[in-house]
């Protein structure tokens, strides 16, 4: 059981380049999330998708776009990468129970922007 799969695991970009981080889950969850993790700051929510066809901004959405391609896949796009976007990115998914949810995480993508 793969759970939440992220690709790539590592990436180095030059300032101004674009890229898409891929995320797929095989748990039939309805909700998916993108976080970034920076030293001393925990995990901060970038965007989330409560259900297929919907996306909403989180705490730090500037500089990012997302696409909920289908129920399984949720991608994060950096249109013009900046050094401030150097971070570890995590995708997560959950099944909304009605009043709470448990989020399951992928292994992360370490991104460096030079």
**58 scored as a contact of another protein (CB under 8 A):** yes
Could you tell me the smallest distance in angstroms from the CB atom of residue 79 to another protein? 24
Is 53 among the residues that bind another protein (CB under 8 A)? no
Number of C-beta neighbours around residue 109 at 10 A: 22
The residue among 88, 52, 90, 87 whose CA lies nearest residue 72 is 52
Kindly state the smallest distance separating residue 45's Cβ from another protein, in Å: 6
The answer to whether 83 and 90 have CB atoms below 8 angstroms apart is: no
Other CB atoms within a 10 A radius of the CB of residue 93 amount to 27
Interaction of residue 19 with another protein, rule CB under 8 A? no
- Of residues 63 through 92, those in contact with another protein by CB under 8 A are 88, 90, 92
100 contacts another protein (rule: CB under 8 A): yes
**Residue 59, burial from CB neighbour count under 10 angstroms (0-12, 13-18, 19+):** exposed
The site for another protein (CB under 8 A) is made up of 31, 33, 40-45, 48, 50, 58, 88, 90, 92, 94, 96, 99-105, 107-108, 110
């Amino acid at each position: 059981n793969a759970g939440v799969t992220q690709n790539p695991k590592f990436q180095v970009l030059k300032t101004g380049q674009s890229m898409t981080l891929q995320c797929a889950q095989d748990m039939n969850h309805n909700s998916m999330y993108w976080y970034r993790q920076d030293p001393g700051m925990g995990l901060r929510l970038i965007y989330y998708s409560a259900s297929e066809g919907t996306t909403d901004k989180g705490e730090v959405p500037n500089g990012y776009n997302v696409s909920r391609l289908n129920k399984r896949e949720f991608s994060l796009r950096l249109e013009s990468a900046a050094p401030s976007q150097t971070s570890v990115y995590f995708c997560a998914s959950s099944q909304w129970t009605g009043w709470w949810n448990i989020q399951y995480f992928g292994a992360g993508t370490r991104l460096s922007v030079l």
